Structure 1
Amino acid sequence: MIGMTIQGTRLYNKADSEGTKKAFTESKVTIEGKGALTERDGMKEKGLDKEIRVHVSGAVNKPGVYQMPAGSRVDDALRLAEAGPNADLESINRAALLTDGRQLVVPAIRSENGSNESMKNGQAVGTTTSGGTSRAFSKGSSSGNGNAGAIININSADASEMDKLPGVGPALAQRILQYRETKGPFQRVEDIQNVPGIGPKKYNDMKDMLSVY
């Protein structure tokens, strides 16, 4: 009787040990699984698992709409669209971040007489049509006859450059800079209308000189 009791106790302890080990293993799997889901959720919250579409045109060999990972740069789009031999790569910010739904127009190198070497549908390469698209992603202003045709990057221009825009004086130039410092970079050229003192009429006068890249 005593021997049976001891044996039964040993069997019970072994079963209990295996059950505890199994429960611990299941608990560990559950925790790891929960951690993996949390990590994926974090990626979604940050937008790292999303893709964007960008329209690349201008002085490129393969213009078109490209689907790219979120967080891609202008240089990534240039590699896909294959910048042409006449592409003016020195005048654009190739490190700029791309956003969904943007049209990137690669400017062409200007000839000696100051005209653009390529035209597309009557429109000089390096500009975009209105209607929600962003202007050519110039690093700053480009040369021309006086200020005519100059492109001002409103995300990097200083007060003196802002002052070159039609209807913008020193006071309004400072308001633009203050708005940019407070709200962050302009996402679209149209967003400059959020600055107090710039209404639809004034924006219409300056929009062809604006860039956000």
Structure 2
Amino acid sequence: MVKERLKKFLPLILATLATVFVLAIYFSQSNNEQADAWEENESAFQQATEDSEKTTEETGKIIVDIKGEINKPGVYELEGDARVKEVILEAGGLTKQAEEKQLNLAEKLQDQQMIYIPNKEEAEEMAIDGDKETGDNNEDMIDINAADINELQKISGVGPAKAQAIVDYREENGAFESVDELNEISGFGEKTVEKLRDSIKI
């Protein structure tokens, strides 16, 4: 009875074993191919890295990325002593919308440097933001020609005695023409004046 069952299922068992054997060979070859592909990709990456290092170190070339209002934005290879003007020419020149006033065409380029060329609207917005920042900073500064004793004491490092000395100096010599005149007041050394320079104005 057992032998008859074995004979009945023997073809199925053999077919299953054959299938498993074939699949094992297939996956083994597939893994080997993947490993070979990985090694090839890794080798290609290393070669590209070496070529890049050779470009910047041995040949003296640099790679620069230029974007914005330029006719042919992209990555360019130039001589190591190239200037901004040269990469602009290499990239087809500026567009009609480009704002050239903020560019330093004589600036020496660096390897891996990114240059962005703004349009006129962007340049105007940047200028406005810069003016606002400067204005805010000026509002926080104390005018040593107009401030009274109490206001002068709001300056970090200036107490009642130094505030009075500033007022006395103004009364005797007139308005300050320069922050450096504080050096002429007793108690105000060069280091003290340098610390106060960002907090006061004329």
TM over 0.5: no
- More helix, by proportion: 2
What is the TM-score when the length of structure 2 is the normalising length?
A: 0.34
Larger gyration radius, structure 1 or structure 2: 2
Q: TM-score, normalised by structure 1?
A: 0.32
